[in-house]
Amino acid sequence: MGKEVIKLVLEDESLELVAAIGRSDEGTDAADLVNLPSSGITVVTDLELALVESKPDVLVDFTTPKFAYSNTALAISLGVRPVVGTTGFTTEQIEDLDKQCKAKGIGGLIAPNFSIGAILMMKFAAQAAKYFPHLEIMEFHGDQKLDAPSGTAIKTAEMIAQNREEIRQGNPKEEETIDGARGGYYNGFRIHSVRLPGVFAQQEVMFGGFGQTLKIRHDSYERAGYMPGVKLGIEKVMQYAGMIYGFDHFIE
C-alpha cells in the first residue's frame, strides 16, 4: 500500500511527495520502488525526524496496528494531518485522537477501507438491514492479515447496528460442537473471517428472509483500487478539524 501511495503522489500534479518512511528500503529513492523517474526523496526509518524536517501537510499511514496509534499521535502533535488506512484502533483511541486533532485545529481520517465500492457495499448493507434484520458477514483476506475480523467488517457491523435492533439469530438451543464455528458475535449476528493464501480482499453480507436471501458483496483485486479514495482523503483532511472514523462520511 505504501508503494501505491508513493506512485499516486508522484503521478498527481496536485500532490507533492516530501518524505517516505519505511522499515525497509532505507536510502532507496522512493520513485525506484515504483519504477518511476528519480524523485530525490529517499526512504528513511525515523518518522519523527522525517516529519520535523519535511513539514508535510498530511501523513498517509498504512503500517500495522502495533504502530499506527503512536504514529498518528506523533503526527498530530507536530501539526501533520493523519490519513490512516491501518485498522485495529479501539473506540477509546479514536476518541482520544479526535480530541488531539481538535486541540491542534487539524483534520484526521481513520478509514478501515478506502475503496469506494467497499463503502457503497457497507452503505447498501446498512440500508438492507432495515428490511432484512437476519444477516451474517463473511470477510476474506490473505493469511498474513493480522486482525480478525477486518476493520471493514467491524465498520460494516457498526453501520448495520445503527439501523437494526439487537436480535439474537438462529435456534435458541443452538450449540457449537467446535468452539468458534458460528463466528464472532456482534449485535445479534455473526461475523466470519477467512484467512487463506491467494486471497486479496472480499466481503459479503448475506441477508435471510422468508423464502429469499439477499447477498451484497464487494471484491478487491489490487491495491491500486484504493488510491482514488486515498487521494480524496488527503484532500478532505485539509478542510476540517477533528478525527473522522470511516471513509463513508465522504460518500453521500
pLDDT tens column, 197-207: 999 999 999 99
Alpha-carbon distance of 75 to 125, in angstroms, equals 34
Which residues, including other chains, have CB under 8 Å from residue 228's CB and lie 6 or more apart?
A: 116
Of 141, 155, 192, 231, which one is the catalytic site residue? 141
49 and 77 belong to one structural domain: yes
24 and 122 belong to one structural domain: no
Residue-number span of the structural domain to which 242 is assigned: 2-110+223-250
According to the model, what pLDDT value does residue 170 have? 85
Question: Is 192 a catalytic site residue?
Answer: no
105 and 230 belong to one structural domain: yes
> How many structural domains compose the chain?
2
53-234-82 Cα angle (round to 5) = 55
204 and 239 belong to one structural domain: no
Q: Which of 201, 209, 170 is nearest to 188 (CA)?
A: 170
38 and 106 belong to one structural domain: yes
Q: Please state, as a whole number, how many other Cβ atoms lie within 10 Å of the Cβ of residue 247.
A: 27
Amino acid, single-letter form, for residue 41:
I
102 and 46 belong to one structural domain: yes
The low-confidence residues of the chain, meaning pLDDT below 50, are none
93 and 172 belong to one structural domain: no
Is the pTM higher than 0.85? The answer reads no
Q: Please state, as a whole number, how many other Cβ atoms lie within 10 Å of the Cβ of residue 127.
A: 14
Half-sphere exposure for 245 (CA within 13 Å, toward CB): 20
90 and 125 belong to one structural domain: no
Query: If you compute the radius of gyration of the chain from its CA atoms, what whole number of angstroms results?
Result: 20
234 and 188 belong to one structural domain: no
According to the model, what pLDDT value does residue 113 have? 83
According to the model, what pLDDT value does residue 114 have? 87
CATH code of the domain containing 68? 3.40.50.720
Q: Which of 109, 125, 99 is nearest to 216 (CA)?
A: 125
According to the model, what pLDDT value does residue 87 have? 78
Of 3, 104, 145, 236, which one is the catalytic site residue? 145
77 and 144 belong to one structural domain: no
According to the model, what pLDDT value does residue 88 have? 80
According to the model, what pLDDT value does residue 181 have? 93
Cell of 117: 465500492
105 and 227 belong to one structural domain: yes
162 and 132 belong to one structural domain: yes
CATH code of the domain containing 191? 3.30.360.10
